[in-house]
Amino acid sequence: MRKTWIFVFLSCVIAIPAVAAEKWDITWTDYGQNPIDLSVVGDRAYMPYALYNENWPAESRYRIWYDYASIQGIAYAESADGVVWTRQVKVNGLNTEGESFAGRPVVLYEPSWSKPFRIYYYGNPGGIWQIRAAESSDGINFENDQKVLSTENSSLGTYPDGHAILYMPGQNEPFRMFYRGSSAIMVATSIDGFDFLEFYDVVLFPPAMQPTCAISIGQNDYRMWGFISNTANQYLVSSDGFNWEVWEDPVKNVGGLGSSGAWNDNRNYYASAVYLGNGRFKMFRSGRNEASGLYRIGVADGYDAHLAQIDIGNWDVFSPLDNYQNEGWEAYGTNAQGVLTQNADGTVSITDDRADANFYMVHDTAWVVPFTVEASFRIDEEGGNDANGPHCTIACMINDDMHPGSESWQPSFALTRFGGWNLNGTDPIFEHDLSGFNTFTVVCRFDEEARYLLFEDPNNSAANNVQSAYDVYLNRDFSKPAVTFHGTGWAGWPEVDEDGRLDIGWPNPSTGTMTVDWVRWGSGVILDPNDPGTPVQDWSVY
């Protein structure tokens, strides 16, 4: 049964820790030769929506859709650099009825779909405002055009100018649309991307904002842009796609009107941004010049210093453990009498002799979920009085106040088996000899359906217990995980920050010694068949 939710977007006016600001802050630099030339198709070139994909051909890694008249036609173009555009053509297969038949595009690309391009746009056939959708194999020639929302069956506002859509695979209703209602920002969800139903109301600051673009960098990193009064762009952030904060209002450097005579001195609005990787963004936005009346598109480059240290899909850190202290590791324990021993052969032994204690070797991290941790280690001895079975753990934790529920992943390892936390009970295990060195690849992710249930009810303990899911691969056999399970619902140590921390060692009440040869980690699902390469030299950034 559908529920109506009142959900508050908070303006960022309270004190935020410095680390949080680094995570979300983007520094924008405007292109000095704005506007870019997209004038081939029509008199106007504005209301853009852009995509970037490094797997597309080099000459068309940037693709853009935009109005070439005022909701009277959508055009498409391609670019190698986001500045010089070619193949400027009209889009086909969309609605042609009504005075304002097609405009304000939003486009999703998912290569697993039979027709990987999905466009959402505004039109008013029969004088009734609608959000419509169609699909395409090439992003130009669309088919299956149909209404998905209208003023007849939803709170869609009259003459709306913006909507933003997230695709979140893994949820029962993975399509989430944000749009301007008659009195508030609304959200609708869909199973297939065509049949949308309004889900909850959003009380948004500022209430007059039109959302125009939402992107996902990872399962704990979502960004949104919108505008007010055709003159100011806003920037919002979220760690789960449900809970949002207004981070900049307006966006610094590119959020307001240009100086007198500039291409955007009369209007500056409708932003669309793409993430290029390694902390780099590009933004495309509309503008209007007062003297000429021309509507054009400008481009800006963005840089996020926090994301710059994260190369999603590749290893960010390799620690050979030749000198664990120089490589940034520290001892951490509660009620502990443990010892970290740097061995002459370039390994580190982690010893905990006290059963009523926790003792770990720990390292600060910077993760975007999903992320991967890989380590080579052996278990020398084990003991204690743990009813779950004596075990050590590779414990991965994040403590993000913007993200509800547990953010801790804790597979456990013993001399003869490994798996879930309870090695003597019902948790899944894989029997294996761990007295010699083995390589374990641990992929940590969020269970999206559990996150959805936690949004509905933050006190849902069952969803909290399974939200942090992981896959453990043994000795780089990536044909299937040896174990797939989830955390315990534990919130993690309070000292852990929102970037994350890696703890390797012995939890209370287990004891023992484990010897670790090397460790590496990175954001994304990294199933690398190769041994580690050159060590990271500069550890100061972590």
pTM, rounded to two decimals? 0.92
- 55: nearest Cα among 65, 63, 47: 63
Cα separation of 452 and 173, whole Å? 9
**What is the structure's pLDDT at 206?**
60
Residues 6+ apart with CB under 8 A from 436: 378
Q: What is the pLDDT of residues 88-113, one digit of tens each?
A: 999 999 999 999 999 999 999 999 99
Determine the pLDDT at residue 158: 67
Range with the lowest mean pLDDT among 4-18, 202-216, 260-274?
Answer: 4-18
What is the percent of the chain where pLDDT is above 90? Answer: 79
Judged against a pLDDT cut of 60, whether residue 131 lies above it is answered with yes
Q: Is the pLDDT of residue 537 over 50?
A: no
193 backbone φψ class: left, alpha, beta (φ>0; ψ -120 to 50): left
Angle at 526 between CA 60 and CA 411, to 5 degrees: 150
Residue 460 near residue 383, CB atoms below 8 Å:
no
Mean pLDDT of 121-147: 95
Beta strands in 151-209 (DSSP E): 163-167, 175-180, 185-190, 196-204
Is 43's pLDDT higher than 90? yes
Residues 6+ apart with CB under 8 A from 479: none
Which amino acid would we find at residue 494?
P
Provide the pLDDT confidence category of residue 538 given band limits of 50, 70 and 90. very low
Q: In this predicted structure, what is the pLDDT of residue 207?
A: 65
Choice between 278 and 203, residue whose per-residue pLDDT is larger: 278
Query: What is the helix (H) or strand (E) element at residue 453, kind and residue range?
Result: helix 448-456
Q: Which residues pair with 501 in a beta bridge?
A: 364, 397
Read off the pLDDT of each residue in 168-180 and give the average, rounded to a whole number.
Answer: 91
- Taking alpha carbons only, the member of 27, 23, 83 closest to residue 52 is 83
Give the span between the Cα atoms of 172 and 456, in whole angstroms. 13
Q: Residue 322 pLDDT more than 80? A: yes
Q: What is the pLDDT of residues 446-463, one digit of tens each?
A: 999 999 899 889 999 999
SS3 456: helix
Strands 27-30 and 46-52: unpaired
Least confidently predicted of 46-60, 149-163, 333-347, 491-505:
149-163
As a whole number of angstroms, the distance between CA 60 and CA 462 comes to 46
pLDDT at 533 over 80: no
Please give the pLDDT value at position 228.
Answer: 92
Task: Give the pLDDT band of residue 49 (cuts 50, 70, 90).
Answer: very high
In the chain, the domains with their CATH numbers are: 6-308 (2.115.10.20), 317-523 (2.60.120.200)
- Residue-wise pLDDT tens digits, 3-37: 333 333 433 332 333 344 478 999 999 999 999 99
